[in-house]
A and B are shown apart, each in its own frame.
Chain A
């Protein structure tokens, strides 16, 4: 199932989104037939992906990662280790970072899912994405969507985070390029710029930030 195929790139993704439910259903059926899957392994779920309400049939054997990438075209969700260790497949489920590779698609019923594709508004990057760009926190980019989403969860939950706490919140992501320093800077910048001015945090005053 995980053999390399030519995947639609992120820019082409809206095409998959525009797919009508009838088309999607026939797509499900077609895939099912191809795999000789009995109808009993299909379940209908309703979920929201990046603000878009969807109702679709998923296979009980599918991970959320597979549905998001292969069915819906959200290729910003990366498949890395496949066993919940690298964090590349992280998505926000009801605002909480979860490894989608070890999350069954049927569990997504009734959930609100967000992927990196859902962060930019009208083509304008989110403040977290901006911070990653500004701090040069991206090299090959494979870990970036997951890290941006975990940082987004921190920014959105309104809590205050120390540097150590930010490190801990990002510790479920592997980056094999950067050495994490710029990622940490980006996350700190995003978290603090989001209006969290914690008393014990003196980054702004010390001019640590550009």
Chain B
């Protein structure tokens, strides 16, 4: 038995927003794979749960008229993994989705929950950060848009105000069209594990193997998922030679603020950044067909 004091369900988005404005203490639950586990572990006191899992309007993946990809926050990881549109448009997001948990968890865990939970190890986070994803947040008082990059405030802390719900995740066309990406989850097991480190990269490869628009994001390398601006700036316009990639990896370490945890030491994590960023870029370049230029 979970320590649940009260349980309510939303029938519609409007109803949900109205309820949340009147019950700011309510804990929103969707897939439950974070909330219920925290409760099971005793990390959460008696909770008033508010389920939004029935809100069909917050589920699904579509391309909007302007070419942007819109992810409903209640879309499960399994739905993302099997989505033909994403497979064509943003395959790196599928890579990230498939790396999360195991099948039973992916069948129920939602992408919105993964973001709002604010976990530094969230498998979707580095890739969505590299995609410059934007979040649509709505409360009874109105709507605002927040870049994912600004949404993470600290470990387990996000810029979600009382009464607010994440209602959409948007990837603009200029952020994915023509880009190739790769996600590496470094963990002790191939499934059912939390990342020791996550690296997601996106880049364009111009004629002659020249890199442009390189975006590098790391998970579990700092108190929040982070981008690597120094490494990204250095990479711009460079030919993706082994030496250049190695240098990009070294620069990426500067953006990391790794710490020692029981999973890995700070030094080990930094080593992983320096090693995995070039590997991920190499793989992204390979999928771009740029390998022969290197």
Contacts and interface: CB of A to CB of B under 8 A. Distances in A.
Interface of A: 1, 41, 43, 59-63, 66, 82-85, 87, 90, 96-99, 101-104, 106-107, 150, 168-174
B2 A85 contact: no
A96 B107 contact: yes
B65 interface: no
Contacts of B102: 87, 171-173
B272 interface: no
A127 to B, nearest CB: 21
Given A102-B32, A171-B191, A87 B104 contact: yes
Contacts, number: 80
Contacts of A85: 192
A69 B1 CA distance: 13
B294 interface: no
B32 A103 contact: yes
Nearest to A174: B192
Q: List the 5 shortest-distance A-B pairs measured between CB atoms, nearest first.
A: A172-B102, A171-B191, A60-B7, A61-B1, A102-B36
Nearest to A89: B104
29 contacts: A59-B1, A60-B4, A60-B7, A61-B1, A61-B2, A62-B2, A63-B36, A83-B40, A84-B33, A87-B104, A90-B104, A96-B78, A96-B107, A99-B104, A99-B105, A99-B108, A101-B40, A102-B33, A103-B32, A104-B2, A104-B7, A150-B104, A168-B191, A171-B102, A171-B103, A171-B190, A171-B192, A172-B104, A172-B192
Most chain B beta-carbon contacts within 10 A, residue among A63, A82, A102: A102
Given A63-B2, A83-B41, A172 B103 contact: yes
B4 A98 contact: no
B191 A62 contact: no
Contacts of B191: 168, 171-172
A101 B41 CA distance: 13
A158 B49 CA distance: 37
B37 A83 contact: yes
B155 to A, nearest CB: 20
Most chain B beta-carbon contacts within 10 A, residue among A61, A90, A170: A61
Nearest to A171: B191
Given A60-B7, A171-B190, A171-B192, A82 B40 contact: yes
Contacts of A169: 103
Given A61-B4, A96-B78, A172-B101, 4 more contacts: A96-B107, A99-B104, A102-B37, A150-B104
A82 B39 CA distance: 11
Interface in B95-111: 98, 101-105, 107-108
A103 B29 CA distance: 11
Contacts of A61: 1-4
B40 A102 contact: yes
B126 to A, nearest CB: 21
Given A87-B102, A168-B191, A104 B1 contact: no
A22 to B, nearest CB: 25
Contacts of B3: 61
B204 interface: no
B185 interface: no
B53 interface: yes
Interface in B48-99: 49, 51, 53, 78, 98
Contact of A98 (B37, B49, B53, B108): B108
Interface string B1-22: 1111011000000000000000
